[in-house]
Structure formats: structure tokens, C-alpha cells
Amino acid sequence: MIPERLQPILADVTPLADRFAAAGHRVYLVGGMVRDLMLDRLRSGADLDLTTDARPEETKAVLAGWADAVWNQGEAFGTIGARKGDLTFEVTTHRAEAYRAESRKPHVVYGDDIAEDLARRDFTVNAMALRLPDVELIDPYGGVADLGAGRLRTPLAPEVSFSDDPLRMLRAARFVAGYGLVPDPAVVAAIEDLRGRLEIVSAERIRDELSKLLVLDDPSAGLWFLADTGLSDEFLPELRALRLEQDPIHRHKDVLAHTIAVVAKASPRLVLRLAALLHDVGKPKTRSIGPAGVSFHHHEVVGARMARDRLRELRYPTEVVADVQRLVFLHLRFHGYRDELWTDSAVRRYARDAGPLLVDLNELTRSDCTTRDERKARMLAARMDDLEARIAELAEREELDALRPDIDGNRVMEVLGVGPGRVVGEALAMLLEARLDEGPLGDEGAERRLRAWWAERGG
């Protein structure tokens, strides 16, 4: 009896499986889809990964006349892609691949045995297959039992699996966090021993795996795994540096534990989670002890530079780097807020400085409150509520999301009788400061202010 949850998948893949069978080849559904089918966690719209004993040329012959489109960018690694209607297939020849010690690219050898193919996969929970079209579960390494037991193991000895593809060590953190799996002691020992091998993996692959971990519902267990094994030192040494030594007199909260708690509280948006992860990275460099105790003066300034440099090394897009750097730089701004002290001008500046990151900045600020003091937590939440209400009120009156001088550069040149140049930029900066301090001036008010400013300069 085929479980009901398999029926839609089988309806999608059986026509193609029948074509492989007619051509004398075996084909199997593999990868995360099989794992998620076992857990009843299958996502709609997922790509269909298949493996077969057919060689790439034979696979293309099977797909010809059936698929709407076929592409062969992955043919060097045995993979042929295809699209049929709304479905995307990737069909890969059985293979065994390993990284050469000095190389970032796998050396591919084709095979004919499904068990050998599954042996080269990262973890036992991913080393399962469904034979098609007759539907038989192939599970030579106990993946179903490991899923049931909440255990993370490798099909081969972990030293072999991690040497073949060192990125699997980082991927382990995602499975620890995303599936609640406990790593086998041999897996932990191998990572601690082989973590330096991650250096042969490209920054882009490391970046992508870190991003997948960070946008899980709760990446906490995975981040602790990276810190506890020391694997994070290979690509994010700032993480374990947050585990500051505590002296018996001048104590402060565990910055690493606080950081991971902030990440977990923040919504799973990549920029926000990266900012949460890096918001306190400047603390180790700025820690000082004085008469008032421990302080971290200007750690947001130092941390913003450190966050920028680390994300650049990990090859994050320029706009992601800039946004995270900005959030880290601004994450303490709210803590100077008091309703009776912050004028409308101060609120405008806060909103202006955050710009399109205002929602993320406010959420980062809320997430940064991890105190166990309920009274203090309620007070901070109430203050943020008040600030957001004032921002909303000013935004409704003054279009805060488009803060700019009341007149543009062309009008400045007309009023002053000057051409393009530095004086126009200085005039616009002056008008923006006036707009922030006083609210909308209107065209006439802005022009009066401009003429007065110009007269003071001897214009």
C-alpha cells in the first residue's frame, strides 16, 4: 500500500520513470525529497532529484521528445536538467566523487550501483532512495532509523565523508538545527579534527550554507554546534571570540549566548539575521574595565567595520553587506530614546538614518533585549512601542519615508543664480538639516531659508 502523501509525487515522476524502464535503465528518487517524505514535511514546488545507471548521453536520449526543455550545464558532473510543464527535474548518473586534497572541484567517477551512489551522500538521512516506477525504499545505511532516533550520522566513516566534501561539516549544523538531530560522537570528533579542510571550499559555497542555516526557524542549535566544534573559526572567527573570559569581579552577560538568543528572536530574514549574528562582534575589541565596571564603548562602530569586512570575505552581495553594516552601526541608537528627551527632530533623524531598514532596525532593537528581568523587558518594549507610534504619527504628517529638502538642486541653482557645483550640495545639506529640525518648510519657506543662508556666506 503506497502512502497517500506519495501519490502526488508518483504522479509527477512515473511517466519519466516509465521511459527510463523502457530504455532498460533503473531510476530512483533521491535527496532531501525522500527524507522530507519520510517526515511528511515535503515542500510544494520542490525540484525532483533523480539518480540513474544511465550515462548522461543516455539520459538525454530518454528526455528527448518528452521534456519541454533540457539543459546540460551539469553534464561534466553527470547531471542533466529538464523541465516538463511546471516541474523541474535533475537526473544524475550514479557516481562516486571525492575532492582531491588540493582542489575545490570534485573528481567524478560513474557507477552502476545505487548503494555505492548513496554511500557518497552527506548523511544517512539523505542517503535513501525510492526506486521507480515500482516504488521500493532503498535504505542501506539506516536513514529511516536515524530519523526516528534523531541521530546525525554519515553513510561512510565521517573522516571519509568530510574529506570528500568538507562543506558537509558546515551542513551538519543546518541538520542539527533544522531537524533536531543529535550528531554522533564520531561526527563531532571528525569535525574537530578535520575542520581546517574547509579552506579548500569556496567562500561562495560557505556563504550559501551559512545563509541556509541562519534563515531556519531557530538556528540556535546549529550556531552552538559551530562554536562548540570550533568549525566557525574557519570562516567566522568572530563567533567564538564572543565567548569572553569572565573575571570574578567585573562580570557581564555571556555575549555569545546573548548573540545566539538575539538571532533566534529575530525574524528569519537574511539581512536581519546576519545583523543579529554580528551586532556585538565589536565587543571583544572594545572591552575595558573602569571604576564603573565593564564597558564596550563604541563597539557598534568597531563592529560595523568588522561585519563589513567579514561579509565581504564571504562574498555576500554589496547591498547585503551595506545593509548589515548599517544595522550594526545603528543598533544602539534607540537606547538613548526617552519620550521627554527626544524631540520630533531626533525622531526624524532616527527614521532618516535607518531609511528603508527602519523595520529591521526596530526588530533588531527589540530582539537585542534578552534580559531575564521582566520589569526591564516590559520597560524597553514600552519605549519601543512609543517610538514606533511617534514615527508613524510623523510619517503620516510628513512623509518620513521620503525625507529630502523641500526644494531640489535645480531650484537651488535658480534661486542662487549658480551652476552645478559644491555650493549646491552644501545648500541641499543645509535645507535637509532644517527639514529634520523643524519639519516641512514648504517651497517658500525653504527659499527664504536658502537666501538667508546664502547672504550669511556673502553670496
For 265-289, what is each residue's pLDDT tens digit? 999 999 999 999 999 999 988 887 7
What mean pLDDT do residues 155-175 have? 95
Strands of the sheet with 79-84, listed across from one edge: 69-71, 79-84, 87-93, 48-52, 27-30, 129-132, 136-138
| Of 233 and 41, more confident | 233
Are 395 and 294 within one domain?
Answer: yes
Say if residue 347 is in the same domain as residue 450. Answer: no
d(CA 317, CA 165): 25
- Mean pLDDT over residues 366-392, rounded? 86
pLDDT digit string, tens, across residues 406-456: 788 888 888 888 888 888 888 888 888 888 777 778 888 888 888 888 888
pLDDT per position as a tens digit, 394-418: 776 655 555 678 788 888 888 888 8
Residues 298 and 408 in one domain: no
Last residue of a domain, one of 149, 170, 188: 149
Per-residue pLDDT, averaged over 6-15, amounts to 86
> Same domain for 84 and 136?
yes
Residue 264 pLDDT? 97
Same domain, 427 and 384: no
Tell me: pLDDT of 33 over 70: yes
User: What is the rounded CA–CA span in Å between residue 193 and residue 206?
Assistant: 19
**What's the domain count of the chain?**
3
Cα separation, 188 vs 172, in Å, equals 10
267 vs 294, residue with greater confidence: 267
Do residues 396 and 409 share a domain? no
Quote the mean pLDDT of the chain: 88
Neighbours of 271 (CB within 10 A): 19
299-320 pLDDT, tens digit per residue, is 999 999 999 999 999 999 999 9
pLDDT at 45 over 80: no
Residue 232 within a domain: no
Residue-range definition of the domain harbouring residue 425: 404-456
**Residue 433, helix vs strand vs coil:** helix
pLDDT digits (tens, 9 = 90+) for 76-132: 889 999 999 999 999 999 986 555 555 555 567 888 899 999 999 999 999 999 999
- Residues 132, 10, single domain; the answer is yes
* Domain identity same for 351 and 451: no
